[in-house]
Structure 1
Amino acid sequence: MDAAAQTRVMVQPEAAPHVPSTGAPLTCLVTGATGYVGGRLVPELLAAGHRVRVLSRSPERLRDHPWAGDVEVVRADAGDPVAVAEACRGVDVVYYLIHALGGGPSFGGADRRTARVMADAARRAGVRRLVHLGALAPEDEELSPHLRSRAEVAEILLGSGVPTVVLRAAVVLGSGSASFEMLRYLTERLPVMVTPRWVHSRIQPIAIRDVLRYLVACAQLPAAVHRCFDIGGPDVMDYAEMMQRYAHVAELPRRRIVPVPLFSPSLSSHWVGLITPVPAGIARPLVESLRNTVVCAEHDIARYVPDPPGGLLGFDDAVRLAVQRVRDSAVTTRWASASVPGAPSDPLPTDPDWAGGTLYVDDRVLASTASPDALWRVVEGIGGERGWYSWPLAWRVRGGLDRMVGGVGLRRGRRDPDRLYVGDALDFWRVEEREAGRLLRLRAEMRVPGLAWLEFHVEHDGAAPGGRGGSVLRQRATFAPRGLSGHAYWWAVAAFHGFVFGGMIRGLVRAAEERRPAPPRAR
């Protein structure tokens, strides 16, 4: 790479360069805003001068986004015709970014139902354009269930009676995407890889910044434009080459790749789930899709959205930017920000009848001489590289067991080492509630026969020794069992709670007291 190209890579943002609006501001409805692409699209639309409305089943998961105060948030389930129709009222452009990745055997039916709901609502509301990010799907190959579902959704939206653009992409490269995380961890953790045949399928990846640039520009396309466009970067390669080129960019030794034809998609997804932070439920549709050739058949989009002056971002440059942003903890949205299918999504239950009359609770309280602020900083920094302040081996074993059964394990880490936001992934937990300085509630996404939460309350303690005013930490682990296996699970692990939960609260308090400012020296 020449010096000019190196300089260009250093200053390029990973996100799309802001595309200025070429006409009057439009009102845009974004679905899937809690997902990887949607969460990045919203600020780009705002920067282009558009008004943005966001449809979300859980608006509280959006409140900590920097742009939350600049958009209109509508609480609605994408499958509710009445709610979706109301969300579409007065909208010029709808961005449909919903798909049930890893949603179980019935995900195709769910995808079709929600697409039909949106197609009907958009037509009735007089929406001027639908924009959908779909997937490249070869016409001459048997498609994976995931790609077949994506193609069906595209057909439904194109048949809506509303001018529609479907952007069909293969692997999207960017810090935080499921495809990028899978590639990154496979390459970094396995210098020698025994791989399935799909490592030799041809792929045309595209950088997230170019995807966002196309999406923003589509809002202003003429009404006569009604079709699919293939979008991809300048490089075509197979997955084995992607891993080797990633290793080169990341300054790793060349990887040894040994293809084995006997790996089924199911075995491959569990293998990927053990090696990478991507759980098997998400890895499986990604792996199944990799057996197909996903290369652009045309570049017609350039007639309406010309390539940027420096050209579309190449694979090496996209990886370089993504790797740098991961190292800098500058990721704004991640695959992990989307809930794991089948994970509990309801609020913490307060009525025991909600869980069949039984709700198991491990409650612990400990006073501290540390200030509430010092204690809160330690609580909010829990997990990730800092760990869980008790019996590290037990946490590693629990994470390993979770991954063996297709769960997320502990390898998701945390987005930021010091700050948490509602909706953040935190190892095998997710932040369900956060009140700065006072409350942190985590919801379990590990594989357990029931629903589990871990909650921390930080309170002021005016009666602390020395009259300085300390704090109290209240820690509560709650488990709502599902069936006999749920009860058996609780009692099987109850004997270890003293080591795990007792050690955790003591460790948190001790860490807060050790980091508090020292008292002033006597003169």
Structure 2
Amino acid sequence: MTSSELPLALVTGATGYVGGRLVPRLIEAGYRVRVLVRSPLKLRDVPWAPDVEVATGDLDDPATLVDAFDGVGVLYYLVHSMGRPGHFREQEGQAARNVAAAAASAGVDRIVYLGGLHPAEGRLSEHLESRKLVGDILIASGVPTVALQAGVIIGSGSTSFEMVRHLTEVLPYMPAPRWVRNKIQPIAIRDVLYYLVHAASVPADVNRTFDIGGPDVLRYGQMMNGYALEAGLKQRPIASLPVMTPWLASQWVNLVTPIPRSLAVPIIASLQFDCVAHEDDIRELIPDPDGGLTPYRRSVRLALGRMKSGQVETSWQNAVVQGAASDPLPSDPEWAGHTVFLDTKRRVTTAPSDALWSVIEGIGGENGWYSFPVAWAARGWMDKLVGGVGLRRGRRSQTELHTGDALDFWRVETIERGSLLRLRAEMKVPGLAWLEMRSTPAANGEGSFYDQRAVFFPRGLGGRLYWFAILPFHGVIFNGMANRITATAEKAAQAQGNGAPATAK
């Protein structure tokens, strides 16, 4: 089928984790895409927004679905009510019935739904029961439905993955309930998207559920320690505690991670069950992607942004695989992704931008760091004692810097001459650190702005404790640094205006 023959695809849940990553892949495959959202404002910063039709509607209001479903060939049902107040099982069931009726009335050819892996028999958690209920309603709708059932999805922004990330990074020792010994079959987000795209073109008579999972079946504890190894952390001792109930475990997760309690409770309740695929019939309709399904450890590396031409990304600006399913989106929740600590300063100065830049580019070495030299020297001595590079490297030139230059215990990662200097820390720290300085001319041409930003990606609990331990000194050192740099630039500009040679002392 050529791209001109592909049906119009309607994506519900396009502002969610999976939907936001599926839309650009459907566009790439040649589909015209329409998205259904309650508020178009949620799409204002999404990069693919200009390439789709936007329909405003609410799955809880059948009247708003009529126009949105008009002309649709394939419907993607990627919404869930978990995290909303009330009984989400009833909410999800009613929304699914509304969608089923609207799709049948509009003559939709195919529904593709993403649900959850669950045991074939026995009691289910409310979360898994609601996922199963929605699939049953859509399959009974009269519109041929492919209901894909996935377990833990591995990708930055996925709630389950973020829980693994934050628990593993924060806790050096993990008391955990018995479900850490349950079996789980995680699947990479890229493989989920692959199945979703191809499910739109399966034969018209297919109307059933399909289990999907990655190549590895693991215990939850093994997932955590697999993450630890890929994140450069030590493996975590895990103690299984039979007395920790799902409710108590969710309170614990809410305490030590940024995952909202409204999401932690239903997810943890679902982890009481083994979630593995019971069949692999999907392979009869959709062959494995090129290279096969993604192993768990590789999917973690992708989620961490540590695979690009086989190299570890070093810049905080591009520490993801560009264009990959693991990339962050503006619609991702605030608690998704790396934990990042920032210290930002801005100063307005009468010095012109070029004078300010001269001071920035001359930083370090003999000129020092413009704030408490004894503190910087002490930090250098401490670094030397633990096997680091210390401050003695200095700089190659007192006036110019180039990308890759060593600068005391930093390295020049990016330089945009006249405007931006970004340094990557090479001292021994429990994480990754950068220092960024920027000079921007004022809009009226008089003076300039100095922006300074320290960025720290902590590694494990030690990284977090390190940041909070030095936080009291930031107000003194980084404030003083910003004040002295701008004052030096103003003094140099005045000296130059008086005919004296400019200096960055």
Taking structure 1 as the reference length, the TM-score comes to 0.62
Amino acid across the alignment from 2:292: G
Contact residue 4 and residue 30 of structure 2 kept, 8 A: no
1:375-386 equivalence runs, <5 A: none
Matches within 5 A, 1:349-388: none
Which one of 310, 313, 317 corresponds to residue 298 of structure 2? Answer: 317
Provide Cα deviations, 1:155-201, integer angstroms capped at 9, x if missing partner: 11111110100000010001121111111111122121100111011
Q: Following TM superposition, by how much is the alpha carbon of 1:245 offset from its aligned partner in structure 2, in angstroms?
A: 1.6
Structure 1 residues 430-509: aligned runs within 5 Å:
468=446
Q: Does 1:38 align with 2:19?
A: yes
**Are 2:236 and 1:241 aligned?**
no
Structure index of larger Rg: 2
2:24 pairs with 1:79: no
Distance apart, 1:515 and its partner CA: 11
Q: Are the structure 2 counterparts of residues 266 and 238 from structure 1 closer, same or farther at C-alpha, using a change threshold of 3 Å?
A: same
Cα distance change, pair 514–118 in 1 and its aligned pair in 2 (3 A): farther
Deviation of residue 21 (structure 1)? 6.4
SS across alignment from 2:286: coil
C-alpha displacement of 1:104? 3.4
Q: Does 1:214 align with 2:214?
A: no
Q: State the shift of 1:78 in Å.
A: 1.9
Aligned to 1:163: 144
2:49 aligned partner: 68
Q: What are the Cα deviations for residues 444-481 of structure 1, in whole angstroms up to 9, with x where unaligned?
A: xxxxxxxxxxxxxxxx997xxxx82889xxxxxxxxxx
Q: Which residue of 2 aligns with 1:479?
A: none
Conserved 8 A contact 2:215-2:294: yes
Q: 1:183 aligns with which of 141, 164, 169?
A: 164
TM-score, structure 2 normalization = 0.64
Shift of 1:329: 4.4
TM-superposed deviation, 1:141 = 2.7
8 Å CA contact retained: 1:175, 1:334: no
Uncovered stretches (5+) of structure 1, i.e. residues with no partner:
1-19, 341-365, 374-459, 472-502
Q: Deviations over 1:395-437 (max 9, x none)?
A: xxxxxxxxxxxxxxxxxxxxxxxxxxxxxxxxxxxxxxxxxxx
* Cα distance, 1:286 vs structure 2: 1.0
Which of 100, 107, 124 matches 2:88?
A: 107
Which whole-Å CA distance do the structure 1 matches of 2:167 and 2:161 have between them? 10
Contact kept in structure 2, 1:169 and 1:206, CA below 8 Å: yes
In 1, Cα distance between the equivalents of 2:5 and 2:488?
Answer: 54
Other-structure match for 2:117: 136
Residues 334 and 182 (structure 1), Cα distance of their counterparts in 2 relative to 1, 3 Å cut:
farther
The match for 1:257 is 238
Aligned mates of 1:117, 1:227 — CA distance in 2: 19
The aligned residue for residue 147 of structure 1 is 128
Check the 8 A contact 2:15/2:331 in 1, yes or no: no
Deviations 1:488-510 (A, max 9, x none): xxxxxxxxxxxxxxx9xxx9xx8
- RMSD after superposition: 3.6
CA deviation map 1:226-268 (0-9, x unaligned)? 1100000011111011112222222322210111111121211
* Alpha-carbon distance between aligned partners in 1 of 2:93 and 2:156, rounded to the nearest angstrom: 29
What amino acid is aligned across from residue 164 of structure 2 in structure 1?
Answer: L
- The letter of the residue matching 2:289 is P
Please give the secondary structure, in 1, of the residue aligned with 2:80: coil
Residue matched to 1:227: 208
Equivalent residue in structure 1 for 2:155, among 164, 174, 188: 174
- How many residues in Structure 1 have an aligned counterpart in Structure 2? 361
1:409 corresponds to: none
Q: Would you say the 8 A contact 2:114–2:150 is kept in 1?
A: yes
Aligned equivalents of 1:289, 1:335: Cα separation in 2: 28
Question: What percentage of residue pairs aligned between the two structures are identical?
Answer: 48
8 Å Cα contact 1:132-1:167 kept in structure 2: yes
Q: 1:244 and 1:260 mapped to 2: Cα distance?
A: 18
Deviation string 1:275-319 (CA, Å, 9 cap, x unpaired) is: 222111111111111111111011111111101232110111111
Return the match for 1:279 from 260, 268, 272. 260
Aligned position for 1:303: 284
Distance in 1, matches of 2:215 and 2:30, equals 29
What amino acid is the match of 1:320? R
- In the other structure, the counterpart of 1:97 is 78
Tell me by how many angstroms 1:336 deviates.
7.4
Gaps of 5+ in 2: 308-312, 321-325, 336-345, 354-441, 450-474
Distance in 1 between the 2:350 and 2:159 partners? Answer: 40
Select which of 24, 30, 47 maps to 1:49.
Answer: 30
